[in-house]
Amino acid sequence: SRWKYFWQSVFGLCAAIFLYTTAPSATETTLIVPMLKDVRIPLGIGFIVLTYFVIVGSSNAVNLTDGLDGLAIMPTVMVGGALGIFCYLSGNVKFAEYLLIPYVPGAGELIVFSGALIGAGLGFLWFNTYPAQVFMGDVGALALGAALGTMAVIVRQEIVLFIMGGVFVMETLSVVIQVASFKLTGRRVFRMAPIHHHFELKGWPEPRVIVRFWIITVILVLIGLATLKLR
């Protein structure tokens, strides 16, 4: 796990430094707060730190979620598709100005990557649905999570990713809370972490856990897309 985190950090820092040094304007290193059109926080060199945590964090979050058949891939497809919409809109100067989002030249090209992610994800889900015939593994989950984080950083929608990827956030927080609680008090908050195992141990069948997490993701993705008109 140490080597895995080491290489995650290397690639995360390389991506962060590359995006920072190639940014043509300060707009592309500014933190955008959705629903608050006038709130834009210049990050400067702090952009590298934020980008590192977004990419490495989303990578690990998807990996933690990948514990049940189809649980990680469908939210990844939905969030990836929604980020593709943000990329297309951010790459079009007229849409960007109208929706009050940063204009990022060339970002529209990422719609191709988003489409590939959706197609590959749905093809994988055909065989990964319960009971699964194939599995994603660390390589797939870590890479897909990093891809989501990178797309969000490019179009300056890190907070929107946090909203739309709420299932990934919930899974990660459940592990953090469980470990912290056990070390500090010797007690566990959940029956088992990540939290999808908690619901399994409460008696929920695996397909029920999976589909309900999908439903939560649908709602959160719609909320994320709704921020486009709430600025």
**Known binding positions for Mg(2+):** 63, 138
DSSP string computed for 69-86:
TTTTHHHHHHHHHHHHHH
- SS3 per-residue string spanning 108-162: HHHHHHHHHHHHHHHHHHHHHCCCCCCCCHHHHHHHHHHHHHHHHHHCCCHHHHH
CA–CA gap between residue 210 and residue 65 (Å, rounded): 10
Q: Which pair of tokens denotes residue 121?
A: 């994800």
Positions at the binding site: 63, 138
Residue positions counted in the chain = 231
